[in-house]
Amino acid sequence: MNETGSLCPSIKAADIIGDKWVLLILREMFLGATRYNDFQRALPRISPTILSKRLKQLEANGLIIKKATAGQKTSEYRLTRCGRELAPLTDQMAKWGLRWARRRLSEEDFEVGSFMWDFHRTLKIDELPDGEIVFCVNFLDQSENKIWWAVVNDKVVDLCTEDPGKDVDLFVTGNLTNLVAVWMGDVEISAAIKSGSVILTGASYLTKSASRWFPKSRYADVRPAQK
């Protein structure tokens, strides 16, 4: 027996949006991701097979288009008008989730690669001095991928999993959970430093100004609702 359809536009919209991976891919595109490698680095838990399927699904549903990069073998993914109109929806879903589902987050939801991708792109580079600045982030509670580098130069931030061979200006040390708490706005960086849960070692002009440049989620001001 065939399943009956529905004329409800909400159901049709849900069918198009699909699952969490579609929403996460769209979120990355709203934040500037355009290439396959961008999605892989931002979403390390998604398999290449699922990522390819979801990108094809988004393209088939008219939310994105795939364009060949001039003079290169790579391609870029771009939002269509249909896809762009989902930006306010995903924004409100993120705020709703932080208000009503934040307490359900556990350490199992934290992934160091995904966090570092967010960390490097939310550094407040306008608060940093001109010139090249190299950060080294050391996760004490991680057995794999425990050391990362973020290189800031000309307002561009490069994220590295291997030592770039540059002098480090600031070492950031702590557990993933503690760094996530600061990034999400649950703990101020000044309080984390004072308690020793996050340790900053290096140039004094960076340690003293951490409250200005330390990265925070764009939703750091969204607080859990009182049930």
pLDDT at 2 over 50: no
pLDDT at 108 over 90: no
β-strand pairing of 170-174 with 198-202: antiparallel
State the Cα–Cα distance between residues 164 and 133, nearest whole angstrom.
12
Which tens digit of pLDDT belongs to each residue from 41-86? Answer: 999 999 999 999 999 999 999 999 999 887 777 899 999 999 999 9
Among 29, 31, 114, 30, residue whose Cα is nearest residue 77: 29
167 phi, psi to nearest 5 deg:
-65, 130
Distances (CA, A) of 211 to 60, 94, 99, 127: 44, 24, 24, 10
State the Cα–Cα distance between residues 175 and 198, nearest whole angstrom.
8
Does domain 9-100 fall into CATH 1.10.10.10?
yes
Amino acid letter, residue 141 = D
| pLDDT, mean over the chain | 91
What pTM was computed for the model? 0.84
CATH numeric code, 107-213:
3.30.1050.10
Numbered ranges of CATH 3.30.1050.10 in the chain? 107-213
pLDDT at 127 over 50: yes
State the Cα–Cα distance between residues 42 and 68, nearest whole angstrom.
21
Mean pLDDT, residues 208-225: 93
Neighbours of 58 (CB within 10 A): 26
Mean pLDDT, residues 161-185: 96
At residue 13, the 3 state secondary structure works out as helix
pLDDT score for 24: 93
Confidence band of 1 (pLDDT split at 50, 70, 90): very low
Helices and strands: H and E segment counts in the chain: 11, 7
State the Cα–Cα distance between residues 97 and 25, nearest whole angstrom.
17
pLDDT score for 105: 67
Confidence band of 109 (pLDDT split at 50, 70, 90): confident
Numbered ranges of CATH 1.10.10.10 in the chain? 9-100
Among 36, 42, 44, residue whose Cα is nearest residue 76: 36
